[in-house]
Amino acid sequence: MILLRPGGDISRLDPAVAEELTRLVFDGPEGEISELVRLVRSDEPMGDLAAAQLNSLWDWARTLQPSLIEGATDIAVSFPEMQEQMFNHKEIRIIRTTGKYTEAMVFTIFGAALQIWETLAGHYEIEWEGLDETVVCRAYLFRYALGIVINLLWWIRGGSQAVMRMDRMSNDLIDLGFAVYATYFDGLFSRDEKAAWVHANLVAAITSFRDIHSAD
């Protein structure tokens, strides 16, 4: 089992060192967390202290739900406008029929991801101006931004239907976070079709982005 540092710490990493696994992996005492994971996975009865700790974690997680729903709502509301600004009718048809993306579409996708990255980087007070794209693509927040655009592509593939369940959208954003973490390791183990699709396309997009800008 690998324990990662808090998401905020990983998000604020200098992009130049963001791919160094020692910067991502939690190196403190695992003790309590590892024991809780072991108990949850086993049939062993859970003691009162462990149960109280687990309930405390669940209570804390529930406090995050309103902010997750708010973030999901913002993204869902932006999807129709993003689709209109980024793609014409022919390109939307290509996305929905799983056709080969044109070079213009690829650059549009990367351009949108860079714009989102700049917004996120500013929020986390990361110095992004002047960074080479081959460095930018190492950053967690850039990969997350690229993942948002890939989620947009999934939404378009499905017919651009209005998002009605914001709880599901917030779960998709949680899955996206794990998919981004997995790009630094050996892959994503998930039975969720969308999460697996997003991760596979995210890995391919990162490779393509890196190759394009390495050749500049």
pTM of structure: 0.79
- The DSSP letter of residue 132 is -
List, in sequence order, the alpha helices (H) in the chain. 7-11, 21-24, 31-41, 48-86, 89-96, 103-123, 133-136, 140-157, 166-182, 193-214
**Could you give the 3-state DSSP secondary structure of residue 147?**
helix
pLDDT of res. 30 = 46
pLDDT of res. 207 = 95
pLDDT in tens, 63-107: 545 554 455 678 888 999 999 999 999 999 999 998 899 999 999
